[in-house]
Structure 1
């Protein structure tokens, strides 16, 4: 296998429309939240999810924190969260004082199932956070049936899943809330940003979210001239996406079809080349059309994964692992960190391959040739 330039695991994509949008945002001199590009970007995200109850935020974490505040979660409430996830999934609810309960994940998908969630339910379970890992989707039909039966609120951490669909619907439309990430490392990016989606037409809940976005004031009512002065109404924070970031997001969203097409093509190429290797590829279920954000597999054992990652480092191929499960983290002593055998047996065997707009066909071929030699 011939050497080449180092391959980055991720490279930011800046389509031509982004330059024009940012220039227009700068010329408008409205760089804070609520400008013209905020409206345009919201409309495109709304078109994707099928309604206009979309709120742009400065991060996916902020979107989750708004949901936690809107639900008024507290110390008497338990929130079930996957152990295999980025810590922000849990932190957003722990900051509210809610008790975090960790659920195991299925090694075939690295996501929760109805069975792993139900095993952690108690009479105090108020909500579950379902993480859609790797641009695919958790089995929402079964999870919704469980949560409806038990009276539990579903929040979808769809940080990695923008553009994915399940049963013909946008991923992020099955729960009461969904949070998307538009961080630079995600498939669609505003540099740093996110969105909260409210999948309910409850006007009280919508008003609550708007007040939280107004830093805990009734400024939205003041802007509509419904009150003569605005005032402090609740505890909140600064969660909104600035309009300059919304311009970045708008430029990306206009090219979403092109970005999804290429990332899915890279994913398909990897699967075709690597399907005969002795690894377990993380594949979406039959109902899901993943967005191509991530291609990942599990090596047969930890040593195999370490060997592959070390070889990739030496050759500059950009392969990576991922985070340690929360139940094995340094902070686990502060929460209900029960045994999660599925996550424990799989996380250290995980290998992820570069998927991004800057990846060339010859880069993907080099990566596959290395893996075929190393694992074949």
Structure 2
């Protein structure tokens, strides 16, 4: 998207209060393509099959970042390939800027939109990441991001690496679901509710809700290393992707400025603990994150100037959360280093 490409820019502030459209393609990828183990599939079920699907993501997007982390923690890289879009897009679609000749080398597409239109020629909603795409037909399967990662944990177990952590433990699911609901509605989506508010009253209400929830989660983490106790679960993944973007983007761009993350001691230490854990910080591309928000949301930032700060070296400072005990991977092990060059965050994007 060029600086003069005004006709294709999206508008993000559309009313007094921001309401996220949660109508995603409801299909699921499940064992044998039969009835899913969890929940009820409102759409079609597709079979788990190594090599059949391509996970399309963007380092910039917090919802896609979840899928990148979970795929890596579980060791699904050989079973599910991954395409990484560039950090900016217009209202038509994310683009495969990182690929050779501006195309995804597997799908052959320039835009993710092409995969959606291959299945739904008149697809009326946003072209979102993460998305699972069927490689043979080059058509989108699902973009229902909450289920994509839960299904990675529960339906793709045959392809998990040795030592993969249990990210959605059955004995904790009822409590986890409540915690993740709070995180999504009040924090993950709460920052957007602040940033895309169209009135002072809408913003004030969103701001109070966000920081009330952050205070509640901070209190929960005072005496436990992770949200569910002694080991990492998907709840931590879902919170982390918002915390990683908080100071570089949300504090200024979305006006969530009661406190920086670095000024909330418990959450800052917790976020650094996760960042320094294999599978988390090595998936964070701060350059793409800042470019996406500041360049794409032109109704919030019409100059498209991307801030140089903040200094990110503090993400690597000691956190001392290990003093609370616990083991990030429980009885499992950490994932190894990222071996695929195209999936490695460039040096320019790292802390």
TM-score of the aligned structures, taking structure 2 as reference length: 0.31
More strand by share: 1
* Structure number with larger C-alpha Rg: 1
* Bigger RCO (CA 8 Å, 6+ sep): 1
